[in-house]
């Protein structure tokens, strides 16, 4: 569901023990989406 929401560019509500890390990763992906990164490789 998170991937689908991200693909549709809708707000993502992340809950659970990994919420903070997931938010950091998503924000990092958004900031670096124009650059090749390890996450996009």
Percent of the chain scoring above 70 in pLDDT: 41
- The pLDDT, as a whole number, for residue 12 is 60
The mean pLDDT of 26-41, rounded to a whole number, is 67
The tokens of 29 are what? 């992906």
Residues 18-33 have pLDDT tens digits of: 788 888 888 888 877 6
pTM: predicted TM-score of the whole model, two decimal places: 0.37
Q: Compare 13 and 18 and report the one with higher pLDDT.
A: 18
Contacts of 11 (CB under 8 A, 6+ apart): 5
């Amino acid at each position: 569901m998170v991937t689908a929401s991200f693909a549709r560019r809708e707000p993502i509500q992340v809950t659970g023990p990994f919420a903070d890390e997931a938010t950091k990763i998503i924000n990092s992906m958004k900031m670096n989406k124009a650059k090749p990164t390890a996450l996009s490789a």
